[in-house]
Amino acid sequence: MCGIVGYIGENKARPVLISGIKRLEYRGYDSAGIAVIKDNGIICEKSVGQICELEKKINGKFDKSTMGIIHTRWATHGAPTVENAHPHFDCSGKIAIVHNGIIENYNYLKAKLEKEGHNFKSETDSEVIAHLIESHFEETLEDAVRRALKEVEGAYGLAIISLDDPGKLIAARHGSQLIVGIGKKEHFITSDVAAILEYTKNVVYLDDNEIAVLTRDNMKTTDVDNVQISKRIDEIQWNLDKIEKSGYKHFMLKEIHEQPQALRDSMLGRYEKDNNLVHLGGLKDKENVLRNIRRIIIVACGTSWHAGLIGEYMIEEHLGIPVEVEYASEFRYRNPVIEEDTMVVAISQSGETADTLAAIREASKKGAIILSICNVVGSSIAREADCGIFLHAGPEIGVASTKAFTSQIAVIFLLTLFLARIRGNREVLSNDMASKLKEIPKQVQKILDREDQIIKIAQLYKDNGNFLYLGRGYNYPVALEGALKLKEISYIHAEGYPAAEMKHGPIALIDKNMPVVFIATTDKVYSKILSNIEEVRTRGGKVIAIASESNNEISKLVDHVFYIPETIDALTPILSVIPLQLLAYQMAVMRRCDVDKPRNLAKSVTVE
Ligand code: F6R
């Protein structure tokens, strides 16, 4: 999704802007552009495609400037063309803006501005902002921005510069994450801290309706009515190596291999010393409310929604609280019933997914308590929720989610144990569930150490056009996740189903050209899944099974088996998904796909 970086300071702007925006490449984009103020003019370049195309166009002219803005665009209004790429300008060419988000009333604003004589050069919604600021310009850029934003409906994260008020970089936020970085005699604007971590760890997270006026030495934050707001400076807790490949060929592979550590980090400081009682700092103040909730609705999208489905099985099985899992995009547009004692849990790696954010706003209006499970600290969902749990998985750069998914499952498990403690659920507390999670990181490592077995399977099937993934119980969401991983990075068509549903349609597809991945661990529904395997075998389908280590019968029934260590049913998905992540990754690499940046996809989907 779109990325923004802005810089003002005593250093050269170009290297800061280029290196920063490159760190946001993982979010997905289709064009890019840069504008810097130099001497008495603004110079700008834009290009379609990768940032390296933009770099080719930038020449020595850009070198002397010490302030500027840069953007990567992911097309929503208007095709990915040079004209539609940001920065956008007003008629005079003196105001340049970059924008993340969507201006919902842009048609109205554009018509009004055109009537006033403004000329538009692009098909984007974003360009109206530059013209609107121009139409309001009297003395200072910040006053013009404030007046303009009062007319705007929709979401924006904005970085703005102007020749008529040079020496100022302006940031404005409403519904689209924007962060100010504070350095020595320099300030940064970014939509993602990864872009500026190389330069500073001190950041200010802007809230909705806030505007920051940045000069080399100062920062002033106000709301749109010019009321001054004092902001806290936060310190980023992770280092640059977390966002570099560290010798791995792709971020996705690095992140798959980081899972043992990410899982350890998700547990860190959350178990009481010498026992298995769970405490979650982000929920501490809400224990009284959480003790009495009687219904849970989980809202999420994509992979996070799959983690939510696992949460439904876990919480219902162990706590007996009714749970529903909804696509956030559906939840927000129907009229969901929220009772007084309903808790809405939002799961989101990025914490910025537009539909999930809108869903919690809707639920909050209706009186639900909102609990967030996010990875990105300071993200919108985490900040708007009433309470929350962070994954602590470290930055996830690969577009396909891997370590966030397994950490989400671990955190939902911790939430289950936490709720069991505060609600006095003796059964959960007295069995050894809690200690099972502590064994998981080592078990994940054991699977990763056998990656070569997955490579062999991938070599055999990499040219297949279709795949079916089947699982039951806790492994049904894993089947969905395995299929999603494969299709999004290798472009092989894949479907995930609850195994028993196969008979109700997909069985028609089974023949020798249809490989079927069964997640067939030895759990409550194992005998049922064996019959489903038989059904595929008798129709000539090839079967790849993910099975438990102690299973010595399954190898006779299937074409390939990958064994995983045993754990309790609720935690099995953390283990059973690892070979599926590796299978998808290996096949995508063999098919020469751009694994970290799959076509048409964005890391964080900040538009509907
Ligand atoms: C798939 C994937 C997406 C995200 C989805 C939600 O690998 O990454 O399906 O899971 O876009 O994103 P978050 O979790 O950031 O809300």
Q: DSSP assignment of 465-508, as one string? A: SEEEEEE-TTHHHHHHHHHHHHHHHH--EEEEEEGGGGGGTGGG
The span from the CA of 210 to the CA of 242, in Å, is 30
Q: How confident is the model at residue 268 (pLDDT cuts 50, 70, 90)?
A: confident
In a domain, 346, yes or no: yes
Name the most confidently modeled range: 147-156, 229-238, 573-582. 573-582
Task: Tell which one of 390, 401, 600 to mutate to probe ligand 1, the residue whose CB is within 8 A of the most ligand atoms.
Answer: 401
Together in a domain, 572 and 523: yes
| Ligand 1 lined by 604 (C-beta under 6 Å) | yes
Average pLDDT over residues 91-110: 93
The set of residues, in sequence order, having a beta carbon less than 8 Å from that of 171 and lying 6+ positions away, is: 6, 157, 158, 159, 160, 178, 180, 189, 206, 211, 212, 214
Q: Which of 229-243, 314-328, 438-452 has the weakest average pLDDT? A: 229-243
Higher-scoring residue by pLDDT: 180, 425: 180
What sign does the dihedral 458-459-465-466 (CA atoms) show? Answer: negative
Report if residue 595 sits inside a domain.
Answer: no
- Looking at the fold, whether 165 and 295 belong to one and the same domain comes out as no
Q: Are 218 and 96 contained in the same domain?
A: yes
Indicate if the pLDDT at residue 166 is higher than 70: yes
Could you report the per-residue pLDDT of 380-398, keeping only the tens digit for each?
899 999 999 999 888 898 9
Residue 602 has pLDDT above 80, yes or no: no
Distance 291 CA to ligand 1 centre (A): 30
CATH of the domain at 135: 3.60.20.10
Tell me the C-alpha distance between 327 and 306, whole Å: 10
pLDDT of 239 reads: 80
Q: What is the pLDDT of residue 274?
A: 77
Smallest Cα–Cα separation from 521: which of 548, 557, 487, 482? Answer: 548
What is the pLDDT, as a whole number, of residue 603?
A: 73
Confidence check: pLDDT of 316 > 90: yes
Q: Which atom of ligand 1 lies nearest, measured to the CA of 305?
A: 10
* Alpha carbons 541 and 514: distance in angstroms, whole number: 6
Co-location of 361 and 495 in the same domain:
no
Q: Which two tokens stand for residue 313?
A: 């099985």
For residue 607, is it within any domain? no
Name the residue type at position 529: I
Q: State residue 600's pLDDT score.
A: 80
Residue whose structure tokens are 């499952």 = 409
Verify that 248 and 222 share a domain, yes or no: no
Q: Tell me: the pLDDT tens digits for 586-599?
A: 999 999 999 988 88
Compute the distance between CA of residue 145 and CA of residue 160 in angstroms, rounded to an integer.
9
Question: Which CATH number belongs to the domain containing residue 520 in this structure?
Answer: 3.40.50.10490
> How far apart (Å, rounded) are the C-alpha atoms in residues 548 and 412?
23
Half-sphere exposure of 63 (CA within 13 A, CB side): 3
**Ligand 1 close to Cβ of residue 329 (< 6 A):** no
Is the domain of 253 the same as that of 207?
A: no
Tokens, residue 485? 């991983």
Nearest CA to ligand 1 atom 7: 400
- CB of 398 closer than 6 A to ligand 1? no
Q: Mean pLDDT score of the chain, rounded to an integer?
A: 93
> Of 188, 210, 236, at which residue does a domain stop?
236
pLDDT band, residue 28 (cuts 50/70/90): low
| Least confident interval from 296-310, 507-521, 591-605 | 591-605
Cβ atoms 509, 468 nearer than 8 A: yes
Residue 521 domain boundaries: 451-590
Give the amino acid at 141: L
Among 27, 256, 303, 402, residue to substitute to test ligand 1 (most atoms within 8 Å of Cβ): 303
Cβ count within 10 A of residue 367: 11
Model confidence, pTM: 0.80
pLDDT at position 140 over 70:
yes
Could you give the percent of the chain with pLDDT greater than 70?
A: 99
From residue 278, give the alpha-carbon distance in Å to each of 268, 361, 403, 418.
Answer: 11, 29, 22, 5
3-state secondary structure at position 532: helix
Tokens of 496: 């995930």
Task: Specify if 598 maps to a domain.
Answer: no
The answer on 429 and 530 residing in a single domain is no
Edge-to-edge strands, sheet with 88-89 = 88-89, 95-100, 156-162, 169-174, 210-214, 219-223
Whether 373 and 464 map to the same domain: the answer is no
In a domain, 608, yes or no: no
Ligand 1 near 349 CB (within 6 A): yes
* Distance between Cα 468 and ligand 1 center (Å): 21
For the chain, what is the domain count?
3
Q: Does residue 496 belong to any structural domain of this protein? A: yes
Query: How crowded is residue 260: how many other Cβ atoms within 10 Å of its Cβ?
Result: 19
pLDDT grade for 379, boundaries at 50, 70 and 90: confident
Q: Which one, of 15, 54, 14, 5, lies nearest residue 31 by Cα? A: 54
Residue 604 lies in a domain: no
Peptide bond into 87 cis (omega under 30): yes
Q: How far is the CA of 605 from the centre of ligand 1 (A)?
A: 8
Q: Is 353's pLDDT higher than 80?
A: yes
- The reply to whether 597 falls in a domain is no
The pLDDT value recorded for residue 503 is: 86
Each residue of 45-82: pLDDT tens digit?
999 988 999 999 997 788 889 999 999 997 777 788 99
Clarify whether residues 27 and 89 are in a common domain: yes
Confidence check: pLDDT of 106 > 70: yes
> Is 134 in the same domain as 47?
yes
Q: Which two tokens stand for residue 580?
A: 């599926």
Q: Is a pLDDT exceeding 80 seen at residue 242?
A: no
Structure tokens at 411: 């955190």
Instruction: Verify whether ligand 1 is closer than 6 Å to residue 304 (CB atom).
Output: yes
DSSP for 212-242 reads EEE-SS-EEEEETT--B---PPEE----GGG
Question: To the nearest 10°, the Cα dihedral for 532, 533, 537, 542?
Answer: 130
Rounded Cα distance, 32 and 47, in Å: 6
- Do 506 and 387 lie in one domain? The reply is no
- pLDDT for 243 equals 77
pLDDT above 80 for 241:
no
Atom of ligand 1 nearest to the CA of 350: 15
Distance (Å) from CA 606 to ligand 1 centroid = 11
* Cα separation values, 459 from 270, 313, 335, Å: 41, 34, 48
pLDDT score recorded for residue 308: 98
Does residue 67 sit in the same domain as residue 194?
A: yes
Active site residues: 2, 603
